[in-house]
Amino acid sequence: MRIFQVDAFTGSAFGGNPAAVCLLTAPAEPAWMQAVAAEMNLSETAFVEPADGRYHLRWFTPAAEVALCGHATLASAHVLFETGLADAGQTIKFDSLSGPLTARAAATAAAAVTATAGAPAGLEIELDFPARPAVSAPPLDGLLAALGVDGPVWTGAGEDDYLVVIGREEEVLNLRPDLAALARLSARGVIVTAPASRPDADFVSRFFAPAVGVPEDPVTGSAHCTLAPYWAERIGRSELTGYQASARGGTVKVSLDSDRVRLAGRAVTVLTGRLSDAALPNAQRPTA
């Protein structure tokens, strides 16, 4: 069983957000997938299972299964393209807990796609995800104190995460949140965002999810499904660029189209390998 480590939403190794991608050869039990994710100890491990021209896709943090993950989906599509399991000109169709998702070569990269299997190095991939707008809501008790934020511009509740909008990029960069306090809140994670002062982005963000085993996620595709509707309305433009200002950092291009968000970025494989016999599910281990 092949497994890969991929840096997503970056064009170079050791940037962006690392994800593991496990190519399943048969259905696997959730408990086994959770054990593999805990062993990999990355923010997300994706499990990709072929199914009649489509792929079942599930994502696990080291502590829990999640319903939507952008960077591990980008990493999964990258692996399928890079290994030639998907042709670079096709649209990859995933079935997930968040419904159908797709991945394809971004329009800006279409000229680089050749007729041969596999993908050119550095191919930009575009994901089609559901929009997850946040609804204006007062901050959860203890949220602002845990973040160390005095006066947010706006707060809202999303499907899984809480959105906190503050005034300046520098405030986002300088956050030193109380992660133990954030872990006690009734939300998967907290997105903190502000207008960008850098010239190559429209907004910046950081994402904290200690409740599901991810203290700070380097680059979070699913968070941008909430960020895109907010900033599109505020800025008055449907195509935007977000920069997630973690220590590793990463760029996510977003395009809002009604109730869908297109997320575009690049990915780089940094490690490939195979699970040993001892690590395989019991039903797949070779017998003596």
> Over the chain, what HEC string results?
CEEEEEEECCCCCCCCEEEEEEECCCCCCHHHHHHHHHHHCCCEEEEEEEECCEEEEEEECCCCEECCCHHHHHHHHHHHHHHCCCECCCCEEEEECCEEEEEEECHHHHHHCCCCEECCCCCCEEEEEECCCCEECCCCCCHHHHHCCCCCCEEEECCCEEEEECCCHHHHHCCCCCHHHHHCCCCCEEEEEEECCCCCCCEEEEEEEHHHCEEEECCCHHHHHHHHHHHHHHHCCCEEEEEECCCCCEEEEEEEECCEEEEEECEEEEEEEECCHHHCCHHHCCCC
Question: What confidence tens digit (pLDDT) does each residue in 3-18 have?
Answer: 999 999 999 999 999 9
What is the model's pLDDT at position 102?
97
User: What is 2-130+266-284's CATH number?
Assistant: 3.10.310.10
User: What is 135-254's CATH number?
Assistant: 3.10.310.10
Residues of the chain with CATH 3.10.310.10: 2-130+266-284, 135-254
- Stretches where the chain sits below pLDDT 70 are 107-121, 287-288
Query: Residue 234 burial (CB < 10 Å; 0-12/13-18/19+)?
Result: middle
- The residues assigned a catalytic role are 44
Question: What confidence tens digit (pLDDT) does each residue in 193-250 have?
Answer: 999 999 999 999 999 999 998 999 999 999 999 999 999 999 999 999 999 999 999 9
